[in-house]
Structure 1
Amino acid sequence: MNLLNLIRWKNLLMIAMVQLLIKYALLEPFGVETSLDTLGISLLILATICIAAAGNIINDIYDVETDFINKPDKLIIGKSISEKTAYNLFIVFNVVGVGVGFYLSNSVGRSAFFSIFVIISALLYVYASYLKQMLIIGNVVISILVAMSLIIVGIFELLPSITSLNQQTQLTFFKIIFDYAVFAFIINLLREITKDVEDVDGDHKAGMNTLPIAIGRERAGKVLFTLSFIPLFAVGFYILNSLYKNQMAVFYFLILIMGPLIYTSIKIYSATTKKEFHHIGNMLKLVMLFGMLSLLLYLVLLKK
């Protein structure tokens, strides 16, 4: 169980679920031309979660000092799993992930796609060892990588299958995937800043330069409150322009996405304690989950 907690199995499960939903709830039901069969999408999921698992491990290795202060009860490396074992696991997961990515890239006739896995793997290491300590940059980079876990499905499924006849359809569905990726980027960015506010004490002692350390917890909370309106307006705009004709979709987004987002903004405005910011982080996780599950609405739209 310690290994599963180390690799953040719940987060990996969500990545796998979203990639499956993109293929089997968005692309396949509409007859979009795709490049991956069942084995192919399985390999893409394997490569993605292996590299993500490696990123989680190296992040924990570099976070031992801060985690000892911020969450000593959840400390794994040095307590349940040795640092040497963690490093070995980091290497194994990376080798498997990048190796599978190499095979998959060649199997779709796009060997250059292999570089995506290498770049993501390298960025996860650089993030954990260096970028995480930098003001905002680390938050943005890790949020881009989260968004890439969605975009990579579009890259492998749609781009190799583009022809002059289906180009418009392929790009339309790629744009839908991209929109979901932007949503994932925004929500994850808010969550990363929330975690920085929550963990400010440990981060400060570790010499990091996060937003709450640079401008203070109170001001960082105000910045977070202001940023929380971005997904609210974006989702509202999406409902008015794309979903207004489908009552079920409108209700879904209003109740399960807009509602929690409004609640989260209200909680951010009044939050002052570590416990309150932890609760806000969990709410943003929930928003992310419901946002990704909304892909199932495409199956409902298809039936109608």
Structure 2
Amino acid sequence: MNILNLIRWKNLLMIALMQYLLKYVLLLPFGIDITLNGFGFSLLMITTLCLAAAGYIINDIYDQETDLINKPNKVIVGKTVSEKTAYTLFIVFNVIGVLLGFYLSHLVGRSGFFALFVVISALLYIYASYLKQLILVGNIVISILVALSLIIVGLFELLPAVTPQNQETQLTFFKIIFDYAVFAFLLNVIRELIKDIQDIDGDHKAGMNTLPIAIGRNRAAKVTFAIAFIPLFLVIYYVATYMYKQIYVVVYFLIFVIAPLIYLIIKLYMAETKTDFAFLSKLTKAIMLFGMLSLVVYKFVLLD
């Protein structure tokens, strides 16, 4: 169980769910030309999860000092799992992820895609060891990687299957995946900033230079408050432009995405304590999950 917590099994399940929804709820039911069979797609999911798990492990290894202050009851590396074991697991997950990425890239006839897995693996290490200490840079980089976990489905499923006849359809569905990736990126940026505010004490002691450390907890909260309006306005625009004819779809977005985003914004403006920001971090993750689950309602939109 300690190793499962080390690799953040709940987060990995969420990544797997997001990728599953993209293939089996968004693409497959509409007869879209796709590249991977069930086995190939399973390998793509395993590849993504292995690299993500490696990222969580190396992050915990480098965060030992800060975690002892920020979340002493949840420290794993150095307590229930030795640092040596953590490094071994990091290497194993990375090797499996990169090798499977190499195989998949050749399987779909796009050997250049292999570079993507190498870059992801490298960025996760650089993020944990250096980038997360820089103002906003680490927040943006890790959020791009979260978005890539969605875009990679479009890259491997749609692009290799493009023909002159289906080009427009393939592009339409790739744009849908990209839109969801942008939503995931923005929500993750907000969540990363909230976590930085929550962890300001430990980060400061470790000599990091996050946004809350640079401008103060209150100002950082106001910046996050302002950024949170971006996904809210984008979702409202998206629903008003593409889904306004479907009342059940609109109701879903109003209840499970737009209303929680408004609540998040209000609470961000009022948040003061570490407990407040811990709650907001969980709320942001829940909004991201319900945002992805909205893919289920696309059959009402695309078949209209």
Contact 1:66 1:206 in 2 (8 A): yes
State the superposition RMSD in angstroms. Answer: 0.9
Q: Distance in 1 between matches of 2:113 and 2:79?
A: 38
Q: Deviations over 1:39-76 (max 9, x none)?
A: 01100000000000000000000000000000000000
| Number of residue pairs aligned between Structure 1 and Structure 2 | 304
Contact 1:135 1:210 in 2 (8 A): yes
Aligned match of 1:194: 194
- Return the offset for 1:283: 0.6
* Amino acid of the structure 1 residue aligned with 2:257: I
* Amino acid of the structure 2 residue aligned with 1:220: A
Q: Distance in 2 between matches of 1:295 and 1:13?
A: 17
- Return the offset for 1:303: 6.6
Aligned match of 2:242: 242
Contact 1:77 1:83 in 2 (8 A): yes
Q: How does 1:55-134 map to 2 (within 5 A)?
A: 55-134=55-134
Aligned match of 1:299: 299
Percent identical: 65
Q: Distance in 1 between matches of 2:121 and 2:292?
A: 24
- Return the offset for 1:145: 0.2
- Return the offset for 1:228: 1.0
* Amino acid of the structure 2 residue aligned with 1:156: F
Aligned match of 1:228: 228
Q: Distance in 1 between matches of 2:286 and 2:16?
A: 17
Q: Distance in 2 between matches of 1:215 and 1:169?
A: 46
* Amino acid of the structure 2 residue aligned with 1:82: S
Aligned match of 1:158: 158
1:164 partner SS: coil
Aligned match of 2:263: 263
Aligned match of 1:29: 29
Unaligned runs of 5+ in 2: none
Q: Deviations over 1:151-185 (max 9, x none)?
A: 00000000001111111111110000000000000
Q: Distance in 1 between matches of 2:16 and 2:64?
A: 27
* Amino acid of the structure 2 residue aligned with 1:5: N
Q: How does 1:177-192 map to 2 (within 5 A)?
A: 177-192=177-192
Q: Distance in 1 between matches of 2:112 and 2:238?
A: 34
Q: Does 1:274 align with 2:279?
A: no
Unaligned runs of 5+ in 1: none
1:207 partner SS: coil
Aligned match of 1:148: 148
Contact 1:29 1:302 in 2 (8 A): no
2:45 partner SS: helix
Q: Does 1:138 align with 2:138?
A: yes
Q: Does 1:205 align with 2:205?
A: yes
1:85 partner SS: helix
